[in-house]
Chains A and B, each alone.
Chain A
């Protein structure tokens, strides 16, 4: 079950910040959802092969030649809010000191 400490750890992993009132509601809601999940325990799935996707798993191959027309650089850059002279602008990755 998810407690406050676990929730904060999960939020950090998912790059989310929760206010204390959000945290409280989230713990309550997730608690109810996990209570519902308890029913799965009564089901014996020891010998069941898991279904891992929407279709039968098989390779989809194509000839190794150029097919897709790439999206033009300037069009692709429009999807980024901060662009300077054709480069993406982001805050510093590392802080000083």
Chain B
């Protein structure tokens, strides 16, 4: 096979080729590793390739096909895994030096589910340390670069997974999303990313960042691929008491487009603020606005109804999020004490236990992790708890009730994913607040526990779509440069609506 055979490969096409015996799973796994060996030196999507495991898994699928056994749609599919999910016996670092030598003690539930499907695990991908960041620059090992422009970030924290899929170094990937960590890198890299409803997918074996917000989801080339993977990983799990028993039917992967066309889509005014707005939250780039408007025009032409809505507490979501997350972080990070999981080399042997804790954590954890631990310790301390943590939980309730109200009138909400396209490496690295602002449109979705999907805005074909002259001009000029994503937000456990609408958009 030539070295770039994957440009149009999808899970469905892969499956057809595999069962038609056009190729073997091992051929494809080898071809992906060839691309990884050529390209990943400059992109840096992977932390730990899993070549031996991948080849063994691919051979197992090939053997089953040779024996004429029926195989599922995901058998042999080459997948990348964000390195905060445990794979038994394999190195799992969460992008942190403190876990440099740690190997998974058991399989995360999503991993065992995908192993049962016969998925091939190509490797563990890079992330901001413990998923704390929006650019993958905070990795304890190396930054990942955007395959569309190597001077720019791939987004984060699942930047390695998004870059692997965008760079044809994996057919699909898993990421995790606490405030946008699947959707924002998917948008920056021009791929699809689904953050499921909180509770739809088990978090067992996901290294926790903020437990009341974290969710695992797919990063893929098409919406249909995202639906196929989501269907395979969703479900209640006795190892995660926050997972919920929901029966997702066939509509995820085979939407009834007549039904989809009857959905009403809401456009929240608060998500289209101008840069000059007094909110101080940056506003959206004109190119992003034009891209999202082109999507609205395309969907309108397909018969979708739109309605203006208001989510009045949007502007407070960021503050609430950056109180709640550090609070949970400060608790979740307490386990990294130098006794469990992994070893940090000390200049001199610690003379007592307290010194071991302090030295290990100070050397093993990066600046953003320390910042969140300290911030979280503060907002939970007596005297400040009510002013910050309790207040943030109330604001979280208000953000959620905004959505509940809006969903009385509309079925799906459409917004940009991030206010800007991929920014330059280093541009925001020293300014935490600027980095946090990259997630202002995705954070409210996590606070409310809703499903959200990021889908690439297609290059605008102005003759085909009913877009006004000026918008199509701006869009044509810029959309081709860097990817732009739009976000669809659904009602709780209505992934079928956003996946269906996304699949409709892909067909227009």
Interface residues, chain A, CB within 8 Å of chain B? 2, 6-7, 10-11, 13-18, 22, 25-26, 29-30, 32-33, 36-37, 39-40, 43, 45, 48-55, 60, 62, 67-68, 71, 75-76, 78-82, 88, 90-95
Contacts and interface: CB of A to CB of B under 8 A. Distances in A.
Contacts of B213: 54
A26 B352 contact: no
B150 interface: no
A93 to B, nearest CB: 5
Contacts of A30: 371, 374-375
Contacts of A92: 351-353
B398 A48 contact: yes
Nearest to B397: A51
B352 A52 contact: no
A26 B374 contact: yes
A91 B352 contact: yes
Contact of A14 (B106, B367, B377, B447): B377
Interface stretch (B26-34, B354-362, B481-489): B354-362
Mostly, the B contact residues are: helix
A40 B211 CA distance: 23
Contacts of A80: 339-341
Contacts of B239: 68
B103 A26 contact: no
A69 B351 CA distance: 37
B397 A50 contact: yes
Contacts of B357: 15
B244 interface: yes
A15 B394 contact: no
A37 B436 CA distance: 13
B353 A54 contact: no
Given A45-B398, A48-B397, A50-B393, A40 B319 contact: yes
Contact of B378 (A2, A18, A40, A45): A2
Contacts of A82: 339, 343
A18 B211 CA distance: 27
Given A16-B374, A17-B358, A18-B370, 10 more contacts: A13-B381, A15-B361, A26-B371, A30-B375, A33-B432, A43-B398, A45-B398, A48-B394, A80-B339, A95-B351
Contacts of A40: 316, 319-320, 391-392, 395
Contacts of A32: 432-433
B396 interface: yes
Interface of B: 101-103, 105-106, 198-199, 211-213, 238-239, 241-242, 244, 313, 315-316, 318-320, 322-323, 330, 337, 339-343, 349-359, 361-362, 365, 367, 370-371, 373-375, 377-378, 381, 388, 390-398, 400, 432-433, 436, 447, 449
Given A55-B449, A78-B103, A16 B375 contact: no
B43 to A, nearest CB: 29
B99 to A, nearest CB: 10
Instruction: Provide the main secondary structure of the chain A interface.
Output: loop
20 contacts: A10-B378, A14-B373, A17-B362, A26-B370, A30-B375, A33-B375, A36-B318, A40-B392, A48-B394, A51-B397, A51-B400, A79-B102, A81-B339, A82-B339, A91-B349, A91-B352, A91-B356, A92-B352, A93-B353, A95-B351
A12 to B, nearest CB: 9
A88 B373 contact: no
B242 A55 contact: yes
B323 A37 contact: yes
Contacts of B244: 55
Contact of A6 (B241, B378, B388): B378
Given A33-B375, A36-B318, A90-B353, A15 B358 contact: yes
B395 A43 contact: yes
B383 to A, nearest CB: 11
Contacts of A95: 351-352
A45 B375 contact: no
Contacts of A68: 239
A22 B367 contact: yes
B90 to A, nearest CB: 12
B397 A39 contact: no
A67 to B, nearest CB: 7
Contacts of B365: 16
A54 B392 CA distance: 14
Q: Considering the complex of A and B, which 4 residue pairs feature the smallest CB-CB distances, nearest first?
A: A50-B393, A81-B343, A45-B394, A51-B397
B241 A33 contact: no
Given A6-B378, A33-B322, A36-B319, A79 B432 contact: no
B105 A39 contact: no
Contacts of A71: 105-106
B316 to A, nearest CB: 6
Contacts of B356: 90-91
Contact of A37 (B340, B359, B388): B388
Contacts of B449: 54-55
B202 to A, nearest CB: 13
Contact of A15 (B242, B354, B396): B354
